[in-house]
Amino acid sequence: MKSRAFLIFLILGGAVAVSRSAGALTEGIGKGDARACYLAAETHQYPEIGIATCTRSLVEESLNNADRASTLVNRGVLKFANGQNAEAMADFEAAIKILPEQGDAYADRGVSLILLGRYDEALANINQGIDLGLNHPYLGYYDRALAEEVMGRYPDAYRDYKHALELEPGFTQASDKLKTFILTKAPSPS
């Protein structure tokens, strides 16, 4: 079961506000509570119930390392959506310990770090996630653009929002963010 959290941010005047209705985009196979956990993370309906389902899966089901790491990421996404950022961060870190090559856990940890105002660490984590590979690469570029934007790196943010939209043309969050940019012509050298 592979997982990728989709966490939406509104960046206003350098402050980051997180939408608690953020949705997870995950791909999953399998049965039982691990599958139900994935579905809960995808829809974010009743995150408290989803968290309990994920926990039950982690405790009671025999999961291989990939499924265990993905279930931790899914539970982290639900905790994040439920306003439990520290607990979500712990799940992302546990997933990384189990499966250090899972890019999604790094990118999700990076999003949590944005909330904590640790922008350089956030950017490093998101970059590592992108480098390792993500189930939904457009989300990694979108997450990176969020970090870049809050850091004042507007040209980089613009390029990453644009790349996210190229990878997923129907991704309205990226197209909405691109509408907030005003493009100007660079001054010619004197």
Question: pLDDT, tens digit, for every residue of 1-12?
Answer: 444 433 333 332
Cα separation values, 10 from 93, 107, 132, 143, Å:
25, 17, 26, 11
State which H helix or E strand residue 151 sits in: none
What are the pLDDT digits (tens) for 53-104? 999 999 999 999 999 999 999 999 999 999 999 999 999 999 999 999 999 9
Query: pTM for this one?
Result: 0.81
Mean pLDDT score, 151-177: 97
Q: Give the CATH number of domain 9-178.
A: 1.25.40.10
Distance CA 133, CA 39 (A): 22
Query: What's at 64, amino acid-wise?
Result: N
**Region of residue 184 (phi > 0: left; psi between -120 and 50: alpha; otherwise: beta):** beta
